[in-house]
Amino acid sequence: MINLALQKWRAKEPSLGTWSNLPDIHMAEMLCRQGADWICFDLQHGLMDYSDLTRLLPAITGVPVTPLVRVAANQPDQIGKALDAGAQGVIVPMVNNAADAKRAVDACRYPPQGTRSCGPMRDAMLEGMGYLATANEQVACLVMIETEEGLRNLEEIAAVEGVDGLFVGPMDLCYGLGIAPGSFTDPSFTAAIGRILEACKTNGLAAGIFGLSGEMAANSLKQGFDFASIGTDMSFIRAGVAQAMTAAKGQNKEDAPAVRGGY
């Protein structure tokens, strides 16, 4: 098992991904064929659960896109089941201190590096038990920095052995800083981002962020992030519908084609 996105992050090559909130295999297939390096299936805020994951992950098999899962909570059973279902990495929310980060790492790694229980259902079916020889090196453990406490303990979180990257939840980080969500130019927010990027650089970690748009993703990469999402399936649909509606309503009546006949 080769984690293509993780290879890029370790080489400090910029990487873009998409975010899936909807439990639709056709949407997942489409998102994975648009040039993204990775896709994240969201079990924390997405409208999906574990049973959906067992259909979504097989739907994108064979596409050179790294499947990640944002688990609902930093719990070993949730992390283990996502990995056993075929995820090549997890994004773990609400990591507030080094102990939280160590708990996430332990759940991602087989002994002696961690405490992950052996039962790689889907990967064992596809690759055989050879998966076990490479899993600890190829599974990405990404921990989220999104709270006041997490930011306060940033340096100790980043120093935890086995963490592959820090992932910023920008809206929750705004809440943690006591500023309005979306205040990405606020000095306290930009200072926090600077600290996060520096902590990643110091510890050799990948720096990632949830980008709300392609523009935000591009700006984040220029700022120093290694990877960013370009939006969610729901945001893509909303933007497409809004664009089509604006175009339709903006058409001059005299330019509109005459309606002839009908049912």
User: Where does the pLDDT of residue 263 fall: very low under 50, low under 70, confident under 90, or very high at 90 and above?
Assistant: very low
pLDDT tens-place string over residues 144-197: 999 999 999 999 999 999 999 999 999 999 999 999 999 999 999 999 999 999
DSSP state letters, 135-154? HHHHSEEEEEE-SHHHHHTH
Q: Which two tokens stand for residue 154?
A: 């940033």
What are the tens digits of pLDDT across the range 104-130?
999 999 999 999 999 877 766 667 778
Whether the model pTM is above 0.75: yes
Average pLDDT over residues 61-72: 95
Catalytic site positions: 45
Which domains are seen in the chain, by residue range? Answer: 4-242 (3.20.20.60)
Q: Which two tokens stand for residue 206?
A: 């990948």
User: How many angstroms separate the CA atoms of 88 and 104, rounded?
Assistant: 14
Handedness of CA 157, 145, 123, 16 (dihedral sign): negative
pLDDT single digits (tens) 198-219: 999 999 999 999 999 999 999 9
Q: Select from 239, 191, 199, 80 the least CA-distant residue to 208.
A: 199
Percent of the chain predicted with pLDDT > 70: 94
